[in-house]
Amino acid sequence: MDFVVDPPEIISLPVKGGGNWPVNNIYCVGRNYAAHAVEMGGNPDQEPPFFFMKPGYAVLKSGGEMEYPSESSQVHHEVELIVALSGGGRNISVENAMDLVYGYGVGIDMTRRDLQSAAKDRSWPWEAGKVFRHAAPCSEIVPKLESGEINEAALALSINGDIRQQGNVNQMIWKVPQIISGLSKLFSLHSGDLIFTGTPEGVGPIKVGDQISANLESFATLEISVVSK
Ligand code: MN
């Protein structure tokens, strides 16, 4: 096609067992673990989880160097189960939602907490807190054919060998089928979409020089280092 400017590159992640995953949209669930909702000052009994997004360029592959982002002095880690969609559509039922799941991974929803807090105070959008280069480190994608459906699996994140977050995906308020169905009522889902499904408690700051490691039980692991920009 005769594009008048260069088209964007296809962002990809490796797939366990071979091949590459083309990253399309990245959806995220906020406050999907009760203990994290409480540590953020929320009340999970009164406020249901909700959605926001990150762009594909936020992806950083395992083994990569994360540039500490600009305009923030309080970047927090949030370890999360990633769901990778092999199909899309709208108004998908909870019963049919798992048919769209290709596989899983582990990721970190990196957050400029200071900018997110300022946005919350002013009822502004969250992009400044959630969107930046390397804001979405991701493991390889593990096909469901290999892992089976993951309804229960330990999630953990450590920094320089010290464990900072530990949880289990069975603690999610909205389970994976509900998340997919809920997203599809609001948005048009597409193959290649990734969903960050929320973080357990224990979020906290990262700093330049940190070696960060995250894992979804023995299914998927992610290792990154933090460098100055
Ligand atoms: Mn998150």
| DSSP secondary structure, 86-150, as one string | S--BSS--TTTGGGGEEEEEEEE--EEHHHHHHHHHHT--SHHHH-STTSEEE-PBEEHHHH---
| 1 CA to centre of ligand 1 in angstroms | 38
Task: Quick: pLDDT tens for 181-204.
Answer: 999 999 999 999 999 999 999 999
Does residue 139 have a pLDDT over 90?
Answer: yes
128 closest CA partner among 173, 72, 201: 72
The Å distance, Cα 51 to ligand 1 centre, comes to 10
Mean pLDDT confidence for 113-132: 97
Q: Please, what is the average pLDDT of the chain?
A: 97
- The structure tokens listed for 183 are 């997203």
197 CA → ligand 1 middle, Å: 7
CB 11 within 8 A of CB 25: no
The C-alpha R_g of the chain, in whole angstroms, comes to 17
What residue type is assigned to position 10 of the chain? I
Band (167; pLDDT cuts 50, 70, 90) = very high
- Whole-number Å distance, alpha carbon 4 to ligand 1 midpoint, is 37
CA angle 22, 27, 138 (to 5 degrees): 55
> In angstroms, what is the span from residue 105 Cα to ligand 1's centroid?
14
Rounded mean pLDDT, 1-29: 97
Distance 96 CA to ligand 1 centre (A): 25
* 198 CA → ligand 1 middle, Å: 5
CA 2 to centroid of ligand 1, rounded, Å: 39
Whole-number pLDDT of residue 162 = 98
Residue 229 has pLDDT above 90, yes or no: no
- Domains, the chain, in order of start with CATH, read 12-227 (3.90.850.10)
User: How much distance in Å is there from the Cα of 6 to the middle of ligand 1?
Assistant: 32
